[in-house]
């Protein structure tokens, strides 16, 4: 089991954010990298982000935007901006990129850790977890000590057992690592998780990146302006 594990999620084709986060994982001496899905969607660099994740991630699971690339019915629940971005995204990806996304599992369990994009009960249903109460209910659907998720773009550390208030290496948790490419908690900086299995610590890290450059590229590609604007406000 690696000493330091970096967990990223919801890149959403934001190459500027992804590259800065990967630089930070190196600075923090992370030994392995896990991606919780949604490599693509919304942003301007889907192919480059897929290539980077394929090269750098030791584990990657499927996100709903990744699935929507090869499964049109998945787009039924997307808003108009997201559907427009997915149509454009699909045209930018090679057959090899799409085959890679199709190969991704919904869940990976290893070393007493579970990795899924959405929620552990049925990852393919893309449920959201927004509160500690919801997290405790989902605790019955995984046996590992920690379940790492993304999907909501909002970081959160949720104890499964009553009475636990902060992270400890002895208790069970559901942890949302937040979003690399499109945070939605009012903080525009990229978010990811860093687990140290020897020190027994978990840290949610925030990383600044060139958000203006990422927004300009979205507009230059002809994607909806809302997708560029929201980056700057963490919405």
Q: Where are the domains of the chain?
A: 4-233
- Exposure string over 122-147, b if 16+ CB within 10 A, otherwise e: ebeebeebeebeebbebbeebebebb
Assessment of whether the complete model's pTM goes beyond 0.95: yes
Name the pLDDT band for 162 (thresholds 50, 70, 90).
Answer: confident
72 confidence band (pLDDT: 50, 70, 90): confident
Whether residue 1 has pLDDT greater than 70: no
Q: What are phi and psi of 195, to 5 degrees?
A: -105, 125
Q: Report the chain's mean pLDDT, rounded to a whole number.
A: 96
**Does 3.90.1150.10 match the CATH number of domain 4-233?**
no
| 3-state secondary structure at position 33 | strand
* Of the listed ranges 50-54, 165-169, 182-186, the one predicted with least confidence: 165-169
Average confidence (pLDDT) over 154-179? 95
pLDDT at 18 over 80: yes
Residue carrying the six token digits 């959403």:
12
23 pLDDT band, cuts 50/70/90, is very high
CA dist 43 and 171 (Å) reads 37
pLDDT greater than 80 at residue 224: yes
Q: Check residues 41 and 76 and name the one with the higher pLDDT.
A: 41
The answer to whether 115 touches 108, Cβ cutoff 8 Å, is yes
Q: Average pLDDT, stretch 221-233?
A: 96
Q: How far is the C-alpha of 207 from the C-alpha of 233, rounded, in Å?
A: 15
Task: Tell whether the torsion through CA atoms of 115, 76, 180 and 70 is positive or negative.
Answer: positive
What are the helix (H) ranges across 29-150? 46-56, 64-70, 80-92, 95-103, 132-138
Report residue 76's pLDDT band, with 50, 70 and 90 as the boundaries. Answer: confident
């Amino acid at each position: 089991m690696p000493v330091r594990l970096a967990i990223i999620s919801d890149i959403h084709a934001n190459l500027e954010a992804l590259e800065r986060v990967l630089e930070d994982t190196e600075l923090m001496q992370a030994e392995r990298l896990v991606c919780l899905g949604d490599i693509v969607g919304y942003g301007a660099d889907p192919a480059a982000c897929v290539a980077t994740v394929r090269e750098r991630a030791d584990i990657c699971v499927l996100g709903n935007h990744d699935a929507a690339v090869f499964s049109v019915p998945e787009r039924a629940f997307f808003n108009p901006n997201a559907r427009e971005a997915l149509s454009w995204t699909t045209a930018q990806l090679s057959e090899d990129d799409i085959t890679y996304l199709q190969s991704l599992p919904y869940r990976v369990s290893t070393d007493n850790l579970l990795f899924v994009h959405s929620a552990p009960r049925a990852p393919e249903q893309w449920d959201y977890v927004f509160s500690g109460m919801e997290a405790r209910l989902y605790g019955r659907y995984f046996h590992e000590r920690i379940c790492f998720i993304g999907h909501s773009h909002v970081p959160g550390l949720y104890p499964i057992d009553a009475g636990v208030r902060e992270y400890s290496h002895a208790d069970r948790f559901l942890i949302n690592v937040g979003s690399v490419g499109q945070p939605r908690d009012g903080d525009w900086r990229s978010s990811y998780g860093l687990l140290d299995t020897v020190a027994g610590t978990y840290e949610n890290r925030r990383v600044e990146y060139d958000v203006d450059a990422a927004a300009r590229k979205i507009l230059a590609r002809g994607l909806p302006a809302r997708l560029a604007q929201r980056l700057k406000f963490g919405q």
